[in-house]
Chain A
Amino acid sequence: MGLSFLTPFFLAGFALLAVPVLIHLQRRHRARVLAFPSLMFLRKVEQASVRRRRIRHWALLALRCLALAILVLAFSRPILQAGATAVGELGEGRELVLLLDRSYSMGFEDRWDRARDAAREAINGMAEGDVASLVAFDEWSTILSQPTGDRLELEQLLASVELSPRPTRFAPVIKSARKIVLESELPHQEVLLISDFQRVGWDRGEDLRLPAGAEVRLVDLSDRDRLGVTPSNLALISLILERSQLENRERIVVQARVSRRGGDQEIPASLSLSLNGRELESLEISVDPDSSTLVGFEDFSLPAGVSRGKVRIVGDSLAADNELFFVLSRGQTLPVLLLEEPRRGGGGSGLYIEKALSLAIEPMIQVRRLRGGRPSTEDLEQAAVVVLSDVELGSTSVAAELRSFVEEGGGLLVALGSRSGETHAALAEAGLLPKPSVGQGGGPAMRVTRLAFLDRTLPGFELFSGPRSGDFGTARFFRRQHLAPEADLDRVLARFEDGGAALLDRKVGDGRVMVWASTLDTYWNDFVLQPVFLPFLHQSVKNLSGFRPPAPWHTIGDVVDLADLRVDGEDQLSGQTLEITTPRGDEVVGGEVLEVEEAGFYSLTVDEEEVDVLAVNVDRRESDLASLDSEEFLAALQSLGGNSDAEGRAVVRTAEERERAQGLWRYLALVGLLLLVGEIFLANRLSMAS
């Protein structure tokens, strides 16, 4: 005979039982105060009278409590489960759903051992006729076994469960448990959730309701009650990798951000940096509770090839977030072909461009200046980006070659000036630029103006969207060419104050073309003298070249696009088999994408030659060991789930059976009311008697 409740929160009404008791006591304390000359005679008889009064009211008190208790039971809508079904129709026993948290925070101290002990104890506690399902979860839920009564099998499965490097998320596993419970035909369902109940595992918006009638038990391993505070945990949150050039050698400065959550005392720890298995430096650190610090290491020279780096904390209980892996390789060099015209004074029209691009670090940009001549096919093949700085191409065939260059993925930046009229027409003829438009007066615009708009949504231009991150309005433009963007082809990235286009972007084939309506030297404007010129030019060239900086690390769960892997700018993977060696040493054949599932280094090889290395780290959200309020969580699990109950069990219970099982409340309510009538009668009798 199982008893469960449709509206179990009404059981909180049992607290109302205190009311009659309080009323009886209150009547004593709140009795009218009567002044009396002397208690000289009353004192001699007072004790006996009080004692008799208490005893006399026990019956009334008991009657009131009983009436209340029965009414509370009635409102809780009890369900007699055995009575709701014919004996043997659904079978006997219990459906046990074991939910075992294996997220990496369970590796803290002895939590994992205690979790498995709790699961083992639950398995051993199964009675004849009970069945159990084992579900392991981290951010995903894995049903390891279908309902079975074989305890040996369950224990073997339990022994095979290992800690996962993923974080906690409760919603998927509760969904799994819900499915198992709803499919169960046993009269009693119990969900046992073994976890450290991290706060990060539950987004309050997620639905965690379990079907009504399922009993829920929580095994809380967070030790919050025992410790009183969140356990202390140090974690490596991120790294800042800064590159610099020193005597043609690339040097790296690593800064590690270490955070500490929980705890209330100072804990010393050490932090070490190693590269390719060799420890470079070790530092002693101390982090205050619930704070973070940035620790800087000495710079080091980056060797050739791909280097595996690791920063590690020694002296912390949770090992998974104590290591942060990263990969570094020498920076790529981006070849840029700069075509320019001589200017008065000996300098060329590409002087400022060359100087600006030569300062780029990631990637470094190698500029090749070509003055007054047409680029050869070889020049174009070696360049990733071609910049035309107010040049006169002199031949339409060059425009065609440039179109081919762009279609194959190259980038073209055109700065228009006094000499570029024919060039503009030729490039427009080749479909690379919009056709020249004639402004007022037939020539370039002479009116001084400024930039009024910049489209900061372009990749690379986001960095100008922050406050004080680039004031384009300070530059003055004395002359400019008129641009007439074609609606379907050109995207206006910048405009002058009068609305005229200042910068256009056009995609041609696999490459891009950007055209700047004025010069990129001091002839027609002073833009090149403004601080924003340098980042503007860098970002424009990066954008045109399609450059994407390699990620120093990935997070477990990321999906890496292997088709994009490039080593030294070449696509090494086309038509060849990519073999991947996981951090554990397993070898798999790579496809187009790879979901990284282990922390450490993934080695990617082609024909036994390593072409790339991926560093993978655990998700740092799990580092916060702060736990949920277990009562709130339990309330979320047990909140009313009537609809789902109806959906899931319609196959095994008819409406009449459900009604019969739930009809007990009517009888209880009737009994409660009768008792209240009796209470009125008894109270009146007592009152009259006294």
Chain B
Amino acid sequence: MSRARVYGESSAGSPTRFLEPKTLARISNLDLLSRTVVEGFISGLHRSPFFGRSLDFAEHRPYMPGDDIRQIDWKVFARSDRFYVKVFEADTNSNCVILLDVSRSMAFASESISKLDYGRYLAACLAYFSHRQRDRVGFASFDNEVVTFVPPSAKHLEEVLHTIDRLEPGGAGSLLAPLQHLGGLLRRRSMVILISDFYEEPEEIFKAVSLLRSRGNDVLAFHLLDAAELRFPFQEIAEFEDLETETRIAVQPELLREEYRRLIGRHIESLDEKLSEAGVAYHLFDTSVPLDFALYSYLSSRQRVTRIR
């Protein structure tokens, strides 16, 4: 499972508007599209969790009554005198649903770009790539309930992008209720990409994500955090106001910086651990890192894992 961390310093300037050619060009350099031909999908991005008809051979399995005899591998029968059928990874278009957290905390921005904007760019890129892979692309946004939902469809890219473009920060966030709702809306098994800042206890997040996993969805969790949330660079005494609850706390940052860093580090580790247990791919995005760089890092690591399999 991926352990890619993007804690590095901002290296390539601000993230750009989603679908900006420059961002996409750098992703294209990875030769993702050619790999999809070989592996049936954009291997760096996602792999179909389902078996079906395609050119991608998966494995042999013993013939069972009812199987199409056209699937029997006669060469194997010749060598082993046993009936085996060839199993291929599905080459039909799968569903890719992107879930973006639009709770108020996502509006935070220590620099020019907020987590929500960053998430929107990310979601748009992923939707575009999925569409390029001829997947059915769907999109949902949520805070403590589902705000918008675009059902997965091969023709919905424009609607998805339109929806993403018009997102506004909502209210307080919570994962359990909206994911439970979305689980019911997704009729087919899908690849679900969950983009959020995950300001909940890891146990609660695990419980919410497990709802999607239990329905057979392949889930990817993209954790968005601002650099200030990670490093807590504040100096002056200030009243910190919770964006979601609007409660305030007077804080002298230098006195609690280390403790804060320790707590959020433990939170990230705990998320990684818990989600891995649930079979969910977890990846942390630092919004100070350029979007193309983060995507590149993620896809690279994803690619390595795919090869290993």
Chain A residues in contact with chain B, CB under 8 A? 27-28, 31-46, 48-50, 52-53, 690
Question: Would you give 19 A-B contacts (Cβ < 8 Å), ordered by A?
Answer: A31-B236, A32-B238, A33-B239, A34-B241, A35-B240, A35-B241, A37-B106, A37-B229, A37-B243, A37-B244, A38-B244, A39-B245, A39-B247, A40-B199, A41-B267, A45-B256, A45-B263, A49-B251, A49-B255
Determine the distance from Cα of A37 to Cα of B244 in the docked complex, in whole angstroms.
7
Determine the distance from Cα of A421 to Cα of B295 in the docked complex, in whole angstroms.
139
Among B106, B236, B243, B256, which residue has its beta carbon within 8 angstroms of that of A42? B256
Contact with A along B87-117 (1 / 0, CB 8 A): 0000000000000000001101000000100
B226 at the interface (CB under 8 A from A): yes
Task: Give chain B residues whose Cβ lies under 8 Å from the Cβ of A48.
Answer: 255-256
Task: Give chain B residues whose Cβ lies under 8 Å from the Cβ of A44.
Answer: 259, 263
Chain B nearest CB, measured from A51 CB (Å):
10
Determine the distance from Cα of A446 to Cα of B234 in the docked complex, in whole angstroms.
111
Among A37, A46, A690, which residue has its beta carbon within 8 angstroms of that of B256? A46
Task: Give chain B residues whose Cβ lies under 8 Å from the Cβ of A53.
Answer: 237, 252, 255
Chain A nearest CB, measured from B267 CB (Å):
7
Q: A39–B242 contact, CB under 8 A?
A: yes
Determine the distance from Cα of A440 to Cα of B244 in the docked complex, in whole angstroms.
111
Contact A37:B249 (CB < 8 A) given known A31-B236, A31-B238: no
Task: Give chain A residues whose Cβ lies under 8 Å from the Cβ of B260.
Answer: 41-42, 45
* Given A36-B243, A37-B199, A42-B249, 13 additional A-B pairs, CB 8 A: A31-B236, A31-B239, A33-B241, A37-B106, A38-B197, A39-B247, A41-B260, A41-B264, A43-B249, A45-B260, A46-B250, A46-B251, A690-B252
Q: A35–B108 contact, CB under 8 A?
A: yes
Q: A27–B237 contact, CB under 8 A?
A: yes
Q: B105–A38 contact, CB under 8 A?
A: yes
Chain B residues in contact with chain A, CB under 8 A? 105-106, 108, 115, 197, 199, 226, 229, 234, 236-245, 247-252, 254-256, 259-260, 263-264, 267
Determine the distance from Cα of A41 to Cα of B267 in the docked complex, in whole angstroms.
10
Chain B nearest CB, measured from A56 CB (Å):
9
Task: Give chain A residues whose Cβ lies under 8 Å from the Cβ of B236.
Answer: 31-32
Q: A37–B105 contact, CB under 8 A?
A: yes
Q: B239–A38 contact, CB under 8 A?
A: no
* Chain B residue, CB-CB nearest to A36: B240
Chain B nearest CB, measured from A260 CB (Å):
58
Contact A50:B108 (CB < 8 A) given known A31-B239, A35-B243, A38-B242: no
Among B105, B197, B226, B239, which residue has its beta carbon within 8 angstroms of that of A34? B239
> Secondary structure of the A side of the interface?
mixed
* Chain B residue, CB-CB nearest to A33: B239
Determine the distance from Cα of A48 to Cα of B229 in the docked complex, in whole angstroms.
20
Determine the distance from Cα of A34 to Cα of B252 in the docked complex, in whole angstroms.
12
* Chain B residue, CB-CB nearest to A34: B238
Instruction: Give the most central of B226, B229, B239, B244: most A CB within 10 Å.
Output: B239
Determine the distance from Cα of A449 to Cα of B247 in the docked complex, in whole angstroms.
95
**What are the 5 tightest A-B residue pairs by CB atom distance, in nearest-first order?**
A37-B105, A38-B199, A37-B108, A45-B256, A41-B263
Task: Give chain A residues whose Cβ lies under 8 Å from the Cβ of B243.
Answer: 35-38
Among A31, A38, A41, A43, which residue has its beta carbon within 8 angstroms of that of B237? A31
Q: A33–B249 contact, CB under 8 A?
A: no
Task: Give chain A residues whose Cβ lies under 8 Å from the Cβ of B264.
Answer: 41
Q: B254–A45 contact, CB under 8 A?
A: no
Chain A nearest CB, measured from B285 CB (Å):
14
Task: Give chain A residues whose Cβ lies under 8 Å from the Cβ of B108.
Answer: 35-37
Instruction: Give the most central of A28, A33, A49, A52: most B CB within 10 Å.
Output: A49
> Secondary structure of the B side of the interface?
mixed
Instruction: Give the most central of B115, B241, B254: most A CB within 10 Å.
Output: B241
Task: Give chain B residues whose Cβ lies under 8 Å from the Cβ of A46.
Answer: 249-251, 256
Q: A42–B240 contact, CB under 8 A?
A: yes
Among B241, B256, B267, which residue has its beta carbon within 8 angstroms of that of A49? B256
Task: Give chain B residues whose Cβ lies under 8 Å from the Cβ of A690.
Answer: 252, 254
Task: Give chain A residues whose Cβ lies under 8 Å from the Cβ of B242.
Answer: 36-39
Task: Give chain A residues whose Cβ lies under 8 Å from the Cβ of B244.
Answer: 37-38
Task: Give chain A residues whose Cβ lies under 8 Å from the Cβ of B255.
Answer: 48-49, 52-53
Chain B nearest CB, measured from A589 CB (Å):
89
Task: Give chain B residues whose Cβ lies under 8 Å from the Cβ of A36.
Answer: 108, 240-243
* Chain A residue, CB-CB nearest to B225: A37
Determine the distance from Cα of A46 to Cα of B260 in the docked complex, in whole angstroms.
10
Determine the distance from Cα of A408 to Cα of B237 in the docked complex, in whole angstroms.
103
Determine the distance from Cα of A39 to Cα of B238 in the docked complex, in whole angstroms.
13
Task: Give chain B residues whose Cβ lies under 8 Å from the Cβ of A49.
Answer: 251-252, 255-256
Contact A39:B252 (CB < 8 A) given known A44-B263, A45-B259, A45-B260: no
Chain B nearest CB, measured from A50 CB (Å):
6
Task: Give chain B residues whose Cβ lies under 8 Å from the Cβ of A28.
Answer: 237, 250
Determine the distance from Cα of A34 to Cα of B237 in the docked complex, in whole angstroms.
10
Q: A32–B247 contact, CB under 8 A?
A: no
Q: A37–B252 contact, CB under 8 A?
A: no
Task: Give chain A residues whose Cβ lies under 8 Å from the Cβ of B238.
Answer: 31-34
Instruction: Give the most central of B105, B197, B240, B242: most A CB within 10 Å.
Output: B240
Determine the distance from Cα of A219 to Cα of B243 in the docked complex, in whole angstroms.
61
Contact A34:B259 (CB < 8 A) given known A28-B250, A46-B251, A53-B252: no
Determine the distance from Cα of A599 to Cα of B263 in the docked complex, in whole angstroms.
92
Task: Give chain B residues whose Cβ lies under 8 Å from the Cβ of A42.
Answer: 240, 249, 251, 256, 260
* Chain A residue, CB-CB nearest to B104: A37
Q: B115–A37 contact, CB under 8 A?
A: yes
Task: Give chain A residues whose Cβ lies under 8 Å from the Cβ of B263.
Answer: 41, 44-45
Determine the distance from Cα of A44 to Cα of B229 in the docked complex, in whole angstroms.
15
Chain A nearest CB, measured from B171 CB (Å):
13
Q: A34–B267 contact, CB under 8 A?
A: no
Among A27, A33, A37, A52, which residue has its beta carbon within 8 angstroms of that of B248? A33
Determine the distance from Cα of A32 to Cα of B236 in the docked complex, in whole angstroms.
8
Instruction: Give the most central of B105, B244, B256: most A CB within 10 Å.
Output: B256
Determine the distance from Cα of A397 to Cα of B251 in the docked complex, in whole angstroms.
119
Task: Give chain A residues whose Cβ lies under 8 Å from the Cβ of B115.
Answer: 37
Q: B197–A39 contact, CB under 8 A?
A: no
Chain A nearest CB, measured from B227 CB (Å):
12
Task: Give chain B residues whose Cβ lies under 8 Å from the Cβ of A38.
Answer: 105, 197, 199, 242-244
Task: Give chain B residues whose Cβ lies under 8 Å from the Cβ of A37.
Answer: 105-106, 108, 115, 197, 199, 226, 229, 242-244
Task: Give chain A residues whose Cβ lies under 8 Å from the Cβ of B267.
Answer: 41
Chain A nearest CB, measured from B251 CB (Å):
6
Task: Give chain A residues whose Cβ lies under 8 Å from the Cβ of B197.
Answer: 37-38
Chain B nearest CB, measured from A687 CB (Å):
11
Instruction: Give the most central of A35, A37, A44: most B CB within 10 Å.
Output: A37
Chain A nearest CB, measured from B179 CB (Å):
19
Determine the distance from Cα of A520 to Cα of B242 in the docked complex, in whole angstroms.
104
Instruction: Give the most central of A27, A32, A45, A690: most B CB within 10 Å.
Output: A45
Determine the distance from Cα of A32 to Cα of B253 in the docked complex, in whole angstroms.
12
Task: Give chain A residues whose Cβ lies under 8 Å from the Cβ of B251.
Answer: 42, 46, 49-50
Chain A nearest CB, measured from B80 CB (Å):
59
Chain B nearest CB, measured from A640 CB (Å):
45
Determine the distance from Cα of A41 to Cα of B105 in the docked complex, in whole angstroms.
14
Q: B249–A34 contact, CB under 8 A?
A: no
Q: A31–B250 contact, CB under 8 A?
A: yes
Q: A34–B234 contact, CB under 8 A?
A: yes
Determine the distance from Cα of A159 to Cα of B115 in the docked complex, in whole angstroms.
90
Chain B nearest CB, measured from A383 CB (Å):
103
Chain A nearest CB, measured from B133 CB (Å):
33
Task: Give chain A residues whose Cβ lies under 8 Å from the Cβ of B237.
Answer: 27-28, 31, 53
Task: Give chain B residues whose Cβ lies under 8 Å from the Cβ of A33.
Answer: 238-241, 248
